[in-house]
């Protein structure tokens, strides 16, 4: 009986330790734009489907870093991107593609490139609530603006 309880404690401790390590590893991948802001005044944005962040509100970001998750100040933001994505039929690439969105403080969003948004298959991003792409959590489609800031 004692061995079973001890084994249960060891297994639970292992999983608890594993969850702490994966949470801290996830947080270390977050690129923070303004470390002076409290976390509840910011937004976490997770980028998928071949989107690379190239600028934020007109300020270029450091190239060669992993910008798949960024912590940005809440409010209106203009995000510059580069896209390199393909599906079974087509390949999509583009540079200097911008989108504007008003981010609510304290939220997390998943931002996904789509070539099929809006009317007439307009390129842009789908913005989802949370850090995963789930159709029932779709908040908005935002078309790209092709211009320099």
Q: What is the pTM of this model?
A: 0.75
Percent helix, percent strand, percent coil in the chain, to nearest 5: 20, 50, 30
Asked if residue 130 and residue 106 are part of one domain, the reply reads yes
Asked if residue 68 and residue 17 are part of one domain, the reply reads no
* Domains in the chain, number: 2
Asked if residue 42 and residue 8 are part of one domain, the reply reads no
**127 φ, ψ to 5°?**
-110, 125
Per-residue pLDDT reduced to its tens digit, 111-146: 999 988 877 778 999 999 998 999 999 999 999 986
Per-residue pLDDT reduced to its tens digit, 42-63: 999 999 878 989 899 998 888 7
> Which residues lie closer than 8 Å to 71 by C-beta, 6 or more apart?
30, 31, 32, 33, 39, 42, 43, 44, 45
Q: Mean pLDDT in the chain?
A: 79
Count of positions (residues) in the chain: 149
Asked if residue 25 and residue 46 are part of one domain, the reply reads no
Query: Within 13 A of 136's CA, how many CA atoms are on the CB side?
Result: 0
**Mean pLDDT value across residues 87-106:** 92
Of 73, 45, 48, 41, nearest to 59 (Cα)? Answer: 73
Parent domain of 92 = 33-146
* Percentage with pLDDT > 90 across the chain: 44
Q: What angle do CA 121, 122, 125 make, to 5 degrees?
A: 115
Asked if residue 89 and residue 24 are part of one domain, the reply reads no
Asked if residue 15 and residue 79 are part of one domain, the reply reads no
């Amino acid at each position: 009986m004692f061995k079973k309880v001890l084994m249960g404690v060891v297994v639970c401790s292992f999983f608890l330790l594993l969850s702490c390590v994966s949470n801290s590893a996830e947080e270390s991948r977050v690129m923070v734009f303004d470390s002076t802001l409290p976390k509840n005044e910011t937004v976490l944005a997770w980028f998928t489907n071949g989107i690379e962040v190239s600028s934020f509100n007109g300020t270029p970001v450091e190239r060669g870093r992993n910008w798949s998750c960024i912590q940005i100040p809440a409010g209106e933001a203009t995000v510059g991107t580069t896209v390199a994505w393909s599906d079974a039929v087509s390949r999509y690439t583009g540079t200097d593609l911008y989108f504007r969105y008003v981010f609510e403080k304290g939220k997390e969003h998943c931002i996904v490139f789509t070539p099929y948004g809006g009317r007439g298959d307009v390129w842009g991003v789908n913005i989802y609530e949370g850090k995963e792409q789930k159709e029932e959590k779709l908040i908005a489609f935002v078309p790209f603006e092709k211009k320099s800031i």
